[in-house]
Amino acid sequence: MIAISAEPPLPSNPSSDTVNVPFFSLHQQFTNLAWGLAAAWLWKGTTSLVGMREVPDLSQIDPATLPAIPDTDGPDLTVVIPARDEEAVIGQCLRSLLASSGLTLHIIAVDDRSTDRTGQIMDAIADEAREANTPHQFEVIHLTELPAGWLGKPHALALGANRATSPWLLFTDGDVVFGPRALELAMREAVELKADHLILAPTIIFKSAGERAVLGAMQAMASWIVRLWKVADPRAKDSFGAGAFNMIRREAYLAVGGFESLRLEILEDVFLGIRVKRAGFSQRVILGRNLVRLHWLEGTFGVIPLLEKNAFAVTRFRVPLQILACLSPLLHAVVPLAAIFSGGWNTVAGLLAYVGLALVYKSSSRATRIPAWYAITFAPAVLLLGWAMLRSMVLALSRGGVIWRGTLYPLADLRRAARETKPA
């Protein structure tokens, strides 16, 4: 009798026939991600290296080739400097402005409810300017209260701008130091470029390698948001604004609504730039080593308090978007390094990602003076940025608002203003 089994015979090679391998395995997905990031950073590095060559550099331009500043009945430029509790730096800033040559200034220093000696230092320098018979006008505004519906800095900027009569305005910060010819050359370059809004990228003063590492990582990630060489292109959406140096024609400033239209905007410098570009005015970014200087980061971990008020505002206070923004640094930090140590072709992908990063660092080194080899510090530095962004959101949610210049601004008000703030 022949026994018939209900079970099918086993294949001679079970390993080849019975194992169900998914089309995209976890390993394959990681490989695809590693190569995708490598391609993205190589593309970004190459395009940045080429594009940044188009950004003018005042330190490479012969001043004799620049046009003269047009004659006016009064000061050529009004400089507005809002400051709160900046007694350690405000004196150096104001004295550097008074030492400016080649043009006449109307300097408006705004003491925004300071609790230290900031206002007294402003008054003392005003007295010095009068005794020295300087060609520049110097004015101090003391604020003791903040009107409802305003953030402190936009309010101070708006008040200063409202007192200006000169054809050009410059909005800057109290920790910035200007070279004697910085403003003259910037204005002459603005005339040459027929710019309505000019941003002179400041030279950052570094006091540690950690500060360079963090700023280098910030610049690398920011390269995905704005291409500085495309700011001049009216067809491109790229725009820029910098609190250290926003120089704008008074007509353009008034046409976009000034800071009155940005009363509750934490990123008032950025959104001024957005509104100017969207309104069709000519916007340019230029470089100029050591013409405008500031020490921006206080140590390696100085970026954490620096981003406390700003980071959540970037995503317009939207939690899901902020979480995604926090995950992006994690992705860019971990995947290339994991690829390098995983062996095989993944190692090549990870190394190529760092080649692309080095090209990005190289492209921005004209402005930052951070060598390309600092790309090796990208991973820990960008993880620190991710933590600072997450902390910004957590603190705002737990406090119910954002603390800036000693005032708590309710999150509900900031979110409503963010929805209402539309580029002109």
5: pLDDT strictly greater than 90: no
Question: 27 falls in which pLDDT band (50, 70, 90)?
Answer: confident
Question: 8 falls in which pLDDT band (50, 70, 90)?
Answer: very low
Give the tens place of pLDDT for each residue, 196-242. Answer: 999 999 999 999 999 999 999 999 999 999 999 999 999 999 999 99
Question: Is residue 96 a contact partner of residue 64, using CB atoms and an 8 Å limit?
Answer: no
17: pLDDT strictly greater than 70: no
Cite the DSSP H helix spans in 14-151: 14-17, 26-51, 90-98, 118-131
The H or E element spanning position 339 is helix 319-342
Q: Which domains does the chain have, with CATH numbers?
A: 53-299 (3.90.550.10), 303-420 (no CATH)
Mean model confidence pLDDT for the chain:
92
Question: 127 falls in which pLDDT band (50, 70, 90)?
Answer: very high
Distances (CA, A) of 94 to 126, 137, 162, 318, 328: 9, 12, 20, 38, 40
Average pLDDT over residues 157-186: 97
Question: 262 falls in which pLDDT band (50, 70, 90)?
Answer: very high
Stated pTM of the model: 0.91
77-83 and 168-171 beta bridge pairing: parallel
How confident is the model at residue 14, as a pLDDT?
44
Question: 126 falls in which pLDDT band (50, 70, 90)?
Answer: very high
How confident is the model at residue 15, as a pLDDT?
45
Question: 253 falls in which pLDDT band (50, 70, 90)?
Answer: very high
For the record, the structure tokens of 73 come out as 């009945």
The Cα–Cα gap between 410 and 207 comes to 35
Cite the DSSP H helix spans in 194-318: 209-222, 250-255, 268-278, 303-306, 311-314
421: pLDDT strictly greater than 80: no
For the record, the structure tokens of 199 come out as 């941003």
Average pLDDT over residues 289-316: 94
